Amino acid sequence: MAPTTIRIAMLNADIPVSNVLSQRGTYGNIFHTLLSQAASRISPDTSIISTDYDVREGQYPLSLSDVDVILITGSASSAYDNLEWIHRLDDYVYDVYTNYPRIKMFGSCFGHQLICQSLLREFGVTVEKDPNGWELGVKKVELADEFIDALKASSKTAACRPLEKAPKSVRLQMVHADHVNIPSDHTMPSSWTTFGSTKHCRVQGVYQPNRVLTFQGHFEFDRFINSETMKVFGAAWDREVLQQTLEAIDAEDDSRVAAKIVLRFMTEKSPVKGTATRAVVGGLLTPPLQE
C-alpha cells in the first residue's frame, strides 16, 4: 500500500479529570495514541498527525487545507446547552460538512450528539435527556446490519488490510445521560445508517460513508479512564450506586476493534470534491476558513 497520512484536528470539548490528564494527556492525545496503535496493526503505511484545539476557548484550525478529519471529543456539557462555544461548534460542524466535502468527521459521546444535532436537525433528529437515565460501564453494542454491510464494503477501499470477518457487536465503555433521538428509521437521509444499539440506548452512533462516523460509547476510555472519571462525576452519588458503576466499568471491552473500525473509516476513499449543496447557517465563521 502507498504511504498514507491522516491529519486530524482534535476538537477537545473538555479536558480529562486530573488523574487522567496527568497520566494520559488530553482526550486528543488519547485518541491519537489509540489510532496510531491501530494503524501499526492493520495499516503500517498509515501515519497519524494530530493537532489539539480547545473549542471551549474558541480554538479552531485557521485553515482546513492540511486537515483530513475533524474529531470531536466527549464533554461534561450537553449538545443542547445554551453556551456560546457550543453554538459556535454547532455552526462550525455544519459549515465544514457543507463546504468541505473531502473532510471527514468523527464524534465520541458529546461529539456524536453534537454532530447529529448539527447535521440532522432538519430531519427531526434531536438530542435530549435519555428517559432511561444514565448508561454506565461496559455495554455490548449490537451493530446494525446496514453498518456491517457498509463496513465490509469499505474494507475494499480503505488503506488497511482487508477484513477477515466483520464484527457483529463491540463492547464499549459508556458514561452518558443524554441520547440522540431519531423519530424513525426512515427519518435520516438515505445515505446514512445507525451504527448500532444497546438495550438501553437505541442510537449508539451514525454513519455516512466517507463523511461521518459517530459513537455514543467511548472507545478511547478504558478501566482506568472511566473509573477515575466516575470517581469525580459520581462523588456525590449514593456509595452503593457508585460502587455498582465502578464494577460495571471494570470489564473487558473492544476498544482495539473499535479503533480499527474508526481507522478504516478515516482511510476510506474520499468523495470527489464538489460544490456545497446547502447554504451555510449563520454566515461566515470567525476567523474565516481557508481551503
Q: What is the pLDDT of residues 81-118, one digit of tens each?
A: 999 999 999 999 999 999 999 999 999 999 999 999 99
Higher pLDDT, 149 or 3: 149
Higher pLDDT, 136 or 160: 136
- How much is the mean pLDDT over the chain? 90
Q: What is the pLDDT of residues 199-219, one digit of tens each?
A: 999 999 999 999 999 999 999
Burial 106-127 (b: 16+ CB within 10 A, else e): bbbbbbbbbbbbbbbeeeebbb
- Those residues with Cβ within 8 angstroms of residue 240's Cβ, 6 or more apart along the chain or in another chain: none
Q: Among the listed ranges 10-19, 64-73, 223-232, 274-283, which one has the minimum average pLDDT value?
A: 274-283
pLDDT band with cut points at 50, 70 and 90 for residue 283: very low
Three-point CA angle 24, 25, 29, nearest 5° = 95
Selection from 92, 192, 181 nearest residue 131 by Cα: 181
pTM of the entire structure? 0.91
Fill in the DSSP letter of residue 37: H
Q: What is the pLDDT of residues 244-260, one digit of tens each?
A: 999 999 999 999 999 99
**Domain-by-domain residue ranges, the chain?**
4-267
Phi first, then psi, for residue 74 (nearest 5°) are -75, 175
pLDDT band with cut points at 50, 70 and 90 for residue 27: very high
Write out the three cell numbers for 193.
445508517
Mean pLDDT of 139-158: 88
What whole-number distance in Å separates Cα of residue 222 and Cα of residue 205? 19
Q: What is the pLDDT of residues 53-85, one digit of tens each?
A: 999 999 999 999 999 999 999 999 999 999 999
What whole-number distance in Å separates Cα of residue 139 and Cα of residue 160? 27
4-267 belongs to CATH 3.40.50.880: yes
How many H helices and E strands in the chain?
8, 12
